Amino acid sequence: MSSQPLALAVADVSWFTTENLFRELNDPAISTLALRCMDYRNGWRKGIRPWSASCRRRQIGEQLWAKDVLLPPGWMKRFPQLGMRPISRAIQRFWNIRPEARRGLVVTYPHYRHLVDLARPEATLYYNMDDYALYWPGWAEPLRRLEHDLIERSAATVCVARAQAEAFRRAVPSAASRIHHIPHGTPAAFLASGPLHRPGPAPADVAALPRPLLGYVGSLEDRLDWPLLEELAATFPQASIVIIGRPPGPGVEPWREVCRRVIELPNVHVIGWRRQDELPAYYQSFDVNLIPYLVDHPFNLACSPTKIMDGMGATRPMVSTALPECLLYPHLFDVAESDQAFIAAVGRILAADSDDGRAALRREHAAANTCAKVAARVVAAMG
């Protein structure tokens, strides 16, 4: 990486994963502006108004600034050259603080290809966390063209999932050497002080539930293998399956019927959403942390679940279905190729007093891949 100081603008950190990553970047030569960009409606739901203090650039760390940018609904996608001007202005003003520094820009969505033209950074990095064509299927082809052009023009593209990195190398071969797979890091707050060979103290709202506690943290949606969870609950009726996430809204899709059936089981406990700072205590208290995702769901094939490194930091045993990204870690936790193997893995761990013998290995891996260390690798990819 260049020895020149770097003024790095990140558009944007609206997801906890990007916020945790870049807010933990710790390099005295790098000044970072973490932008949260949202439309007025999303801002209103979060209690943010154009005159709110968070909409002014504010220093929140020695080398870290933050700012919320509110935009009219739909402008970033429908009128990007106009809609992204407020973002570009915020970035330019930040860069002007350190005129001697190299002007770097991290973009997290294909739509920000237009921001690159407006802001004119000296180096751009595309940070990819998903297959975004799945978010907007009606715009899939234009979005892919925009994304491929962004990859071509960027100094580097970093994908949190290996499957995405491989797909981009095939799609944009001229940029293949600049496309990197760098998985998520473990946030500092999620890293246990040492290996936990036994579950930690359970938070008050689950402390009275019968053990063992089998925990899942995440959204209750169609990406989950609900029949597997139903079988898990039936196989271990003495266990408490704890689900931390918001119940799904109304709908008629077939998966919702199985979901309703599962969450009504007597040993399944859906306790709702919890703040990020509350989650480490749950991860550390579970006898087994679960990643029960469908292996053929398009979103799951292209994703890198944050549960991998959040759970790794807790050091407790983990059991996952055979997602492509989870298959990279069979030496650190159980990755099951079938429902029967998943159930058997959970059973083996419980039979061994909830200790699979790999807590120290997970702690070592998480400590070597904290968000601070991963953020440094991501920025170094810019060259």
Outline where DSSP puts E strands in 149-210.
156-159, 179-181
* pLDDT of res. 330: 98
The domain locations on the chain are 6-181, 188-367
- The structure's pTM equals 0.95
| Per-residue pLDDT tens digits for 157-203 | 999 999 999 999 999 999 999 999 999 999 999 999 999 999 999 99
Is the Cα torsion angle 209, 211, 216, 221 positive or negative in sign? negative
At 54, which amino acid appears? S
* pLDDT of res. 64: 97
Chain-centroid distance, C-alpha 118: 27
For residues 318 and 50, the model is more confident at 318
* pLDDT at residue 250 is higher than 90: no
Distance CA 236, CA 231 (A): 9
Query: Based on C-alpha coordinates, what's the Rg of the chain?
Result: 22
Whole-number mean pLDDT of the chain? 96
* pLDDT of res. 73: 87
In order, the DSSP letters of 99-122 are TTSEEEEEE-SGGGHHHHHHH--S
* pLDDT of res. 75: 82
The neighbouring-strand residues paired with 299 are: none
User: 3-state secondary structure string, 283-314?
Assistant: HHHCCEEEECECCCCHHHHCCCCCHHHHHHHH
| Per-residue pLDDT tens digits for 329-344 | 999 999 999 999 999 9
Q: Give yes or no for a contact between 249 and 279, defined as CB atoms under 8 angstroms apart.
A: no
Outline where DSSP puts E strands in the chain.
6-11, 30-39, 58-61, 64-71, 102-107, 123-128, 156-159, 179-181, 213-217, 240-244, 268-270, 288-291, 318-321, 334-336
* pLDDT at residue 252 is higher than 90: no
* pLDDT at residue 325 is higher than 80: yes
* pLDDT at residue 315 is higher than 60: yes
| Per-residue pLDDT tens digits for 116-141 | 999 999 999 999 999 999 998 999 99
Query: Which of the four pLDDT bands, split at 50, 70 and 90, describes residue 319?
Result: very high
Closest CA to 287 of 179, 196, 165, 151: 196
* pLDDT at residue 2 is higher than 70: no
Please state which architecture CATH assigns to domain 6-181: 3-Layer(aba) Sandwich (3.40)
Give the mean pLDDT of 15-43.
94
Whether the upstream peptide bond of residue 12 has omega within 30° of 0, thus cis, is yes
Q: For 188-367, give the CATH class.
A: alpha beta
Distance CA 47, CA 299 (A): 30
| Per-residue pLDDT tens digits for 72-114 | 888 888 888 888 999 999 999 999 999 999 999 999 999 999 9
Give the mean pLDDT of 233-254.
93
* pLDDT at residue 3 is higher than 80: no
Give the mean pLDDT of 152-160.
98
* pLDDT of res. 247: 86
Chain-centroid distance, C-alpha 178: 22
